[in-house]
A and B are shown apart, each in its own frame.
Chain A
Amino acid sequence: MTQYHKFLSFLLLMVNEMAGFFTIKSKNKLSLILSVIILGLITLGCAGQTWQGWSGFTAYDGILYFGAMDGKVLAINPSARSQELPFPSEGEWVLPVKAPAAPGGMCGPLGCAPSAQPATIYSTPVAAGNLVYVATYAGDSGKVMAINRLAPGYDEEGIPSWNEGEWFYPRKENKSIGAVVGGPIVVKDTLYVGSSDGKVYALDAVKGNERWEFDTGGKIWTSPAIKDNVVYISNYEHKFFAVSSMDGSLIWEIELPAAVASSPVVAGNDVFFGTFDNQLYAVDGTNGNVKWTFEGSNWFWSTPVVKGDVVYAGCLDHKVYALDASTGEKLWQFTADGPIVSNPVLVDNLLVTVSKSGEMYVLESDSGDLVRTVDIGYSVMAPLYAEENMVYVHARNRCVYGIDVQSGEKVWDFCYSDIK
């Protein structure tokens, strides 16, 4: 049921209740008419979806992999797209991912019955070897799956089927680990992922078997970060953890005044992340001591980028900040036309960021001076991805744009709404 339907239904209910105070002759008729309209809205509204996802890209062998907003996993070839070849071309495919049965499907007199629904992907996939790893949201019914990136399986009728070597976790069809929002990370042969069931899972990346799990005791909507055999993860209960990547044992944990909003990034010995009380934290990765904090005017939602001794952080207060990684001192700031939701990227000495309203900014990374802007024209919430001079953008109009950072030219675009 969409927010719009719910609000409209509520509005009518309120008017109806208020109208109940009148005893005018037409009151009963009015009530009945309103009730019928509300019933219609509720029935229509139940089938609606309230989440769409905002997956970023991963690249392997020149192919981009990402989760589409309609629950499909797509592989696209930038070279084929720039030549405007028909889809699918070499290395390209589309694979619909269905979530297990979950509440929130169709509604009937006894409530909303379970039904299969698009999986919805917020997390950025990871490609390693012949597999691409995808974690799904799907309300409360998320799973982790490994798909053969060279030949995803289809049966004779074109319906996806599982190939040798592909796996999903949990293995039982109707089991789930809860909604996954933050992306998985693969290091060597282990995949690490945090889920809204409050646990961090370490899985065998080849076979999908569970190696260990660590219960943080609160919902996880961020990605883990890994360095030197330590997994850094936060939950929505104001906690930040360092866990051994070998066996999932706790190394240290800290409690913060507010919950962590962004996925962490590790640089040197330090871990950087934003919180819901508008702070950006630098924490010593070895013991959890807070080195410094920097206050913005809204949440630091996107994952910061670190290069050398500078932390670049996009904020929902419409600004991008460049901070000294050692002290937290502000080096420069740039004000965009809207909140910064997407992770920024560095291309040589340029910092590329995009506002939620769809304006892309190319900035000098050492001064924050604006080099150029590129109007995407549609809202952008997915992380940016850069490869050589190209930056790839996944916009809310269900299109992908390849943009040359040096010229600011939109080299190609690819819209996937009509792909079957």
Chain B
Amino acid sequence: MAELWNTIILEPVLNSLIAMCTVFGGNFGLAIIVLTVVVRLILFPLTVRQTQSTKAMQSLQPKMQELQKKYAKNQQKLQQEMMKLYKEAGINPLGCLWPMLIQLPIWIALYQSIMQALAATPENLLNLSQHLYSWAAVGQAVPLNEHFLWLRLSRPDPNLILAILVGGTMWVQQKMVTPPTADPRQRSMTSMTTMMMPLMFGFFTLSFPSGLALYWVVSNILGIIIQYFVSGGWGYLRAPSAPKPTPAQKPMPTQKIPPPAVQPSKTAQKAIEESKAIKKASEEKKRGLFGR
């Protein structure tokens, strides 16, 4: 299994990364940036699909909560009603799962490639030899020059610059996709997660090789750019508490959640309409993006 993984996924990414290093005159930092951009571009259609599916799912949340309360004691009925709701809204509940499953191995391979290519110790360098192709560009690049700007890519950044960049970009990205909520308990939980994750990532950056942190920063920035264009703006970043409806995202998914017990049917109808509107808007945007 490990052999198969190495042959099909890891080695192509690893050798491309090292060969790219030769193309950029032995600059491994630049190779990491370019390969991250290339991988993001290749996975762009999947990211768009995933973002759209997620947004559509978000729009159904009020109705979901309502159903969960209503059928709290009858799980089977709850499942049936949920599936019915998805069907009515024209959403495949696994729609945001499979793009994720395809992306995950590629990100893991990119991570492994950066770690292996850096080969900080003699043992790592020897291990690297068993994964390289006989390309001239690969042989000429190894062992890689680990210096990039002020960084030694196989070592953590001694300054706080990368940690702040990783944490900051992560916070912006998280803030853009995390909808505000009316439930005070959930709101405190959400804000805690939104703050905690970037802080933790920033903390990890102090221990991880800076080559990997560089990849995180680039990946986050690209994520923000993609999110900006696909969602048509800064999303929830600009409206943390009470987002106003915009023509493209009309109306925002979690805006004014009415008490479910009072107007259940209206809520359900509204949620489905919202979901359809988002899907339609996303489709138009997607056509626009790809049509350029």
Query: For A219, what are the chain B residues with a Cβ–Cβ distance below 8 Å?
Result: 143
Which residues in window 140-168 of B have CB below 8 A to A?
Answer: 140, 142-143, 155-156, 158
Task: Give the distance to chain B from A4, nearest Cβ to Cβ, in Å.
Answer: 11
B208 adjacent to A23 (CB under 8 Å):
no
Is residue B16 within 8 Å, beta carbon to beta carbon, of the partner chain? no
Query: For B96, what are the chain A residues with a Cβ–Cβ distance below 8 Å?
Result: 21-22
Q: Interface readout for A237-272 with B: 1 if CB under 8 Å, 0 if not?
A: 010000000000000000001110000000000000
B129 adjacent to A299 (CB under 8 Å):
yes
Query: For A257, what are the chain B residues with a Cβ–Cβ distance below 8 Å?
Result: 136, 139-140
Total A-B residue contacts, Cβ distance less than 8 Å = 137
Which residues in window 102-129 of B have CB below 8 A to A?
Answer: 103-104, 107-108, 111-112, 115, 120-124, 126, 129
Which residues in window 48-101 of B have CB below 8 A to A?
Answer: 50-51, 54, 57-58, 61, 65, 68, 96, 100
Assess A31 versus B197: contact at CB under 8 Å? Given A50-B120, A51-B122, A297-B134: yes
Q: Which stretch, A32-40, A384-392, A405-413, touches the partner chain B? A: A32-40
Q: Which stretch, A107-115, A145-153, A167-175, touches the partner chain B? A: A107-115
Docked Cα-Cα span, A25 to B134, in Å, equals: 50
Q: Interface readout for B205-238 with A: 1 if CB under 8 Å, 0 if not?
A: 0111000100000000000000000000000000
Docked Cα-Cα span, A339 to B129, in Å, equals: 10
Is residue A3 within 8 Å, beta carbon to beta carbon, of the partner chain? yes
B200 adjacent to A23 (CB under 8 Å):
no
Is residue A221 within 8 Å, beta carbon to beta carbon, of the partner chain? yes
Query: For B174, what are the chain A residues with a Cβ–Cβ distance below 8 Å?
Result: 20
Q: Interface readout for A24-63 with B: 1 if CB under 8 Å, 0 if not?
A: 0101110110010011001001100011101000000000
Q: Which single member of A14, A31, A111, A316 contacts B193 (CB below 8 Å)?
A: A31
Q: Which single member of A11, A31, A46 contacts B108 (CB below 8 Å)?
A: A11
A52 adjacent to B123 (CB under 8 Å):
yes
Query: For B136, what are the chain A residues with a Cβ–Cβ distance below 8 Å?
Result: 257, 277
Is residue A81 within 8 Å, beta carbon to beta carbon, of the partner chain? no
A21 adjacent to B54 (CB under 8 Å):
yes
Query: For B57, what are the chain A residues with a Cβ–Cβ distance below 8 Å?
Result: 22-23
A258 adjacent to B207 (CB under 8 Å):
no
Q: Which single member of B120, B123, B140 contacts A258 (CB below 8 Å)?
A: B140
Docked Cα-Cα span, A10 to B156, in Å, equals: 15
Query: What's the tally of chain A residues with a CB closer than 8 Å to chain B?
Result: 61
Which 9 residue pairs across A and B have the least CB separation, nearest first?
Answer: A277-B139, A111-B206, A51-B121, A28-B189, A21-B54, A18-B100, A31-B193, A276-B142, A28-B193
Given A7-B111, A7-B115, 19 more A-B residue pairs with CB atoms under 8 Å apart are A11-B108, A14-B111, A20-B174, A22-B57, A28-B190, A29-B189, A31-B197, A35-B200, A42-B203, A51-B121, A54-B122, A103-B155, A112-B206, A122-B122, A137-B122, A258-B139, A276-B142, A297-B134, A316-B130
17 A-B pairs in the complex with CB atoms less than 8 angstroms apart: A11-B108, A14-B108, A20-B178, A28-B186, A32-B189, A32-B192, A50-B121, A52-B123, A103-B155, A107-B207, A110-B206, A112-B206, A122-B122, A137-B122, A219-B143, A257-B140, A381-B126
